[in-house]
């Protein structure tokens, strides 16, 4: 791939879609006739389930999106025709809204087609970006973009929020798999080609076989300290420009018409911390003025509310900073933002020049997309055609992408390829489940509630293996509970991370990336591999993951080891490479090479390749150079082939970092709440800022009350919405409670149940959801005497057995539920010693 140029300053870019004087004249004519309300309507983008055609008519809304897990009528099996008809209803409402005006402004629809049209039933799903980065094939990206565009067009949509051009530099970040590489060279090359594939030429974009692209997330989201999702990137502007902006530079040059702002903040030399959504410097001075980007800058989901001076119903500061279109989740929020912004525009608090800049950009992009000339979404060339989604040639392309993305890390004794006549035992947690292959952002946001019925034509590892060797020679036993590995020629151990997206996949700063220490199920995989090694089995391990992980023990227990990333719902691309052809010769060799650095140690979280185009590169604070004790186990660019082979790896050195010893003694009783031990009773909900109790919200009512002895208590009414109630360390400090587990510690909770939970009611001892598990205590609460104060004791050993980590506890008590319930919470204590102590 071409070596990147170093930019000492922000370059002025030339877009492949140049300004059109005719379009600009038409924009000026329309803009001069628009009312303030009509202009503001173009700047608001609600979600499918929070918008009606009547809203479009009343508020002159200019665009909408369907977030992950949002479908017409709530039907996850909605057909392309249903999608196009639904979108067409909003399109028609916009036409009606301007029926009596001397101009019209067409409606525009956007979706998250980030690895294929991944939210739509029957669509082709491609590997996630981290796998595609390993393919090192920009031309493949162009073909994937073109295929994705046709499938998006078949559902009547105009715009996809892709490509993601982040450069992840910390493995703890839950969005690592959304980036093509830790190094900007691959990201730069890929961004250009995917944009070209999605949008085509300027002429193509005006037709209805291509869609608008969106480079995201501007800027620095892959460089946040400790990998914090929505955290802050602490780096020089040179690093921001030459590492994190690389994909945006090529995307804008390729003609990307939209750019999505990032949740994160940035602190650089000479710049105090600003959230990107509120940064006039990054949005206006750099992106619009220096780079010359003349398209739409769209906000991320409710990101305005995280900017100082803004809240759920006030986005004035982000509009002033340069955001053109606000993506807002709920009707309550977008109507409030509309109301607040309208008043600010009328008062002059938001300058009309800023509003006109935003609307001019929206009109420009809509015109470049040919929306004035296109018919209703349901009447377009591909609209509603079921034969477009999942076309055979698209599925073949996805299968090719899987083959090219696989990285062979180990192949001792030429274990691979496997003979097609072999007797195969398929084991491991990913042996026969599709979720670990697909990851997040697949059908639903987290991708953790899907199965093969969501993926017509999909296949698990076990199914794909059986398709090669025959069902009679393929046996599935995920944890070696029923079969002797000695009865088989080879064992394929499929292991991997559970699906996640965004903050749900981010790891706390204290955590490491040792696969077996992340979840109990992963530890069980390691145990399975060790048992196979002890039995003398020939083992081929396939790892599905959204990030490189410390898996040296798994490597040592394997004869061959493949990093398969998140390949998607069809495992046949994997077996294409694992198995020889009918003549026992190599059918498809491994082509993938690491686009990320593979860690030697558990805490090698930020060891990255040094960007070759940056002279005298100085890593930001927290990033580690790949040298000395941080030398990678496998360097960026590593990848074996079966034809060329390579030296047998044998037994690799393990990370011998000693565990922190468990304290020798513990306190007999620790008052968690109420008390003076530094814990604050707090409540939070998804996308809501945690707030101390008492409070009144749409998800929880919490009011002070008294316990049986007149002591402090809290009345909690859970309103059937997802909510977390927890005791959090006031100073953020963490406590090592492993000795309490060892010494028979229990959580003793004084509680009066007034209305038992109507569903699961989870208890845990961490603020690390969903990476760590919970224990459902709904039945125990229901068994307590109704309306009477009682004590509920939960052994810490029970929680530890479920997989909860007690070495770094800042939240010793958390309730998590979506069920309605009403209870009073009294004293919460951590006690050790004999029962009743």
Mean pLDDT, 10 residues at a time, over the chain (837 residues)?
94 98 98 98 98 98 95 97 98 98 98 97 98 98 98 98 98 98 98 98 97 98 96 96 98 98 93 94 98 98 96 97 97 97 98 98 98 97 96 98 98 97 98 98 96 97 98 97 97 98 92 94 97 98 98 97 98 98 96 98 96 96 95 97 91 87 81 85 87 94 95 96 93 89 94 97 85 91 97 95 90 95 96 71
Question: Quick one: pLDDT at residue 833?
Answer: 76
Q: Is 100 a catalytic residue?
A: no
Please name which of 666, 683, 687 lies closest in space to residue 767, comparing C-alpha atoms.
683
Question: Quick one: pLDDT at residue 836?
Answer: 54
> What are the backbone angles phi and psi of residue 836, rounded to the nearest 5°?
90, -5
Question: Quick one: pLDDT at residue 166?
Answer: 98
Look at the block and give the residue holding tokens 């309306």. Answer: 787
- The answer to whether the beta carbons of residues 815 and 762 sit under 8 Å apart is yes
Residue 674: is the preceding peptide bond cis (ω within 30°)? Answer: yes
| Residue 693: HSE in the Cβ half-sphere, 13 Å Cα cutoff | 28
C-alpha to C-alpha distance for 715 and 822, rounded to whole angstroms: 8
Question: Quick one: pLDDT at residue 466?
Answer: 98
* 813, containing H or E segment: strand 813-817
Q: Tell me, what DSSP letter sits at residue 784?
A: S
C-alpha to C-alpha distance for 132 and 117, rounded to whole angstroms: 16
Please name which of 810, 273, 740, 268 lies closest in space to residue 509, comparing C-alpha atoms.
810
Cα–Cα distances in angstroms (integers) from residue 321 to residues 11, 69, 295, 340, in the given order: 21, 31, 16, 16
Question: Quick one: pLDDT at residue 676?
Answer: 66
Question: Quick one: pLDDT at residue 837?
Answer: 54
Question: Quick one: pLDDT at residue 250?
Answer: 98
Q: Is 390 left (phi over 0), alpha (psi -120 to 50) or beta?
A: left
Please name which of 525, 562, 568 lies closest in space to residue 541, comparing C-alpha atoms.
562
Question: Can you say how many angstroms the Cα of residue 673 is from the centroid of all Cα atoms in its chain?
Answer: 34
Q: Is 627 a catalytic residue?
A: no
> What are the backbone angles phi and psi of residue 438, rounded to the nearest 5°?
-90, -35
Cα–Cα distances in angstroms (integers) from residue 31 to residues 57, 323, 353, 361, in the given order: 19, 18, 11, 11
Q: Find the Cα–Cα–Cα–Cα dihedral 492, 497, 498, 499, rounded to 10°.
A: -110
Give, in degrees to the nearest 5, the angle at Cα 576 between 575 and 582.
105
Please name which of 708, 672, 627 lies closest in space to residue 811, comparing C-alpha atoms.
672
Catalytic residue among 253, 300, 302, 810: 300
Catalytic residue among 85, 502, 623, 824: 502
């Amino acid at each position: 791939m071409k070596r990147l140029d170093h930019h000492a300053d922000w370059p002025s870019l030339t877009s492949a879609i140049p300004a059109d004087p005719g379009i600009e004249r038409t924009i000026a004519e329309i803009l001069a006739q628009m009312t303030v309300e009509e202009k503001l309507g173009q700047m608001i983008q609600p979600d499918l389930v929070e918008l009606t055609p009547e809203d479009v008519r009343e508020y002159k809304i200019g665009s909408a999106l369907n977030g992950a897990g949002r479908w017409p009528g709530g039907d996850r099996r909605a057909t392309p025709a249903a999608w196009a008809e639904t979108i067409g209803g909003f399109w028609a409402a916009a036409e009606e809204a301007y029926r009596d005006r001397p101009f019209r402004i067409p409606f525009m629809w956007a979706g998250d087609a980030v690895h294929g049209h991944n939210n739509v039933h029957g669509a082709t799903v491609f590997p996630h970006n981290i796998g595609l980065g390993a393919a090192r094939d920009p031309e493949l990206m162009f073909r994937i973009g073109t295929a994705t565009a046709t499938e998006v067009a078949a559902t009547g949509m105009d715009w996809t929020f892709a490509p993601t051009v982040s450069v992840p530099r910390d493995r703890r970040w839950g969005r690592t798999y959304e980036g093509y590489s830790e190094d900007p060279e691959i990201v730069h090359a890929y961004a250009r080609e995917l944009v070209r594939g999605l949008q085509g030429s300027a002429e193509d974009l005006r037709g209805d076989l291509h869609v608008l692209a969106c480079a995201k997330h501007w800027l620095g989201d892959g460089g946040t300290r400790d990998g914090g999702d929505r955290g802050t990137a602490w780096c020089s502007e040179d690093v921001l420009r030459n590492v994190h902006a690389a994909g945006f530079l090529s995307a804008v040059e390729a003609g990307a018409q939209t750019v999505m702002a990032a949740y994160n903040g940035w602190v650089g030399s000479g710049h105090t911390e600003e959230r990107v959504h509120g940064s006039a410097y990054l949005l206006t001075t750099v992106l619009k003025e220096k780079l010359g980007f003349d398209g739409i800058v769209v906000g991320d989901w409710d990101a305005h509310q995280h900017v100082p001076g803004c809240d759920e119903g006030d986005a004035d500061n982000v509009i002033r900073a340069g955001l053109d279109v606000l993506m807002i989740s709920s009707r309550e929020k977008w109507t409030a933002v509309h109301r607040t912004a309208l008043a600010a525009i009328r008062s002059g608090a938001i300058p009309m020049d800023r509003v006109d800049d935003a609307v001019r950009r929206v009109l420009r992009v809509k015109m470049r997309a040919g929306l004035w000339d296109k018919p209703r979404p349901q009447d377009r060339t591909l609209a509603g055609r079921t034969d477009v989604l999942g076309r055979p040639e698209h599925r073949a392309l996805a299968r090719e992408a899987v083959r090219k993305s696989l990285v062979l890390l180990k192949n001792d004794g030429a274990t691979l390829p496997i003979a097609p006549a072999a007797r195969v035992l398929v084991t491991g947690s990913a042996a026969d489940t599709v979720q670990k292959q697909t990851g997040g952002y697949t059908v639903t946001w987290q991708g953790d509630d899907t199965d093969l019925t969501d993926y017509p034509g999909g296949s698990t590892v076990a199914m794909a293996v059986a398709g090669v060797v025959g069902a009679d020679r393929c046996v599935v036993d995920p944890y070696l509970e029923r079969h002797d590995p000695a009865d088989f020629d080879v064992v394929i151990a499929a292991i991997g991370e559970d699906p996640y997206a965004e903050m749900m996949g981010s790891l706390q700063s204290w955590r490491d990336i040792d696969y077996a220490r992340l979840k109990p199920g992963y530890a069980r995989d390691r145990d399975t591999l060790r048992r196979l090694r002890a039995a003398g089995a020939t083992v081929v391990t396939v790892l599905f993951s959204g990030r490189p992980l410390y898996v040296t023990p798994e490597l040592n227990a394997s004869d061959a080891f493949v990093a398969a990333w998140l390949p998607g719902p069809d495992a046949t691309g994997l077996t294409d490479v694992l198995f020889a052809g009918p003549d026992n010769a190599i059918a498809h060799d491994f082509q993938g090479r690491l686009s990320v650095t593979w860690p030697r140690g558990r805490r090698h979280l930020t060891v990255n390749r040094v960007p070759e185009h940056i002279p005298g590169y100085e890593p930001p604070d927290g990033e580690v150079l790949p040298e000395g004790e941080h030398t990678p186990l496998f360097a960026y660019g590593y990848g074996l082939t079966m034809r060329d082979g390579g030296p047998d790896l044998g037994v690799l050195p393990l990370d011998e970092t000693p565990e922190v010893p468990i304290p020798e003694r513990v306190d007999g009783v620790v008052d968690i709440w109420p008390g003076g031990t530094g814990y604050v009773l707090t409540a939070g909900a998804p996308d809501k800022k945690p707030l101390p109790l008492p409070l009144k919200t749409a998800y929880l009512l919490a009011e002070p009350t008294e316990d049986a002895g007149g002591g402090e208590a809290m009345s909690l009414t859970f309103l059937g919405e997802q909510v977390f109630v927890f005791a959090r360390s006031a100073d953020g400090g963490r406590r090592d409670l492993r000795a309490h587990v060892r010494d028979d510690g229990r959580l003793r909770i004084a509680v009066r149940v007034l209305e038992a939970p109507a569903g699961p009611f989870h208890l845990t001892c961490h603020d690390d959801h969903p990476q760590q598990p919970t224990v459902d205590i709904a039945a125990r609460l229901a068994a307590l005497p109704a309306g009477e104060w009682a004590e509920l004791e939960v052994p810490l050993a029970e929680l530890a057995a479920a997989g909860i980590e007690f070495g770094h506890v800042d939240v010793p008590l958390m309730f998590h539920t979506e069920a309605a319930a009403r209870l009073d919470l009294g004293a919460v204590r951590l006690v050790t010693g004999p029962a009743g102590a």
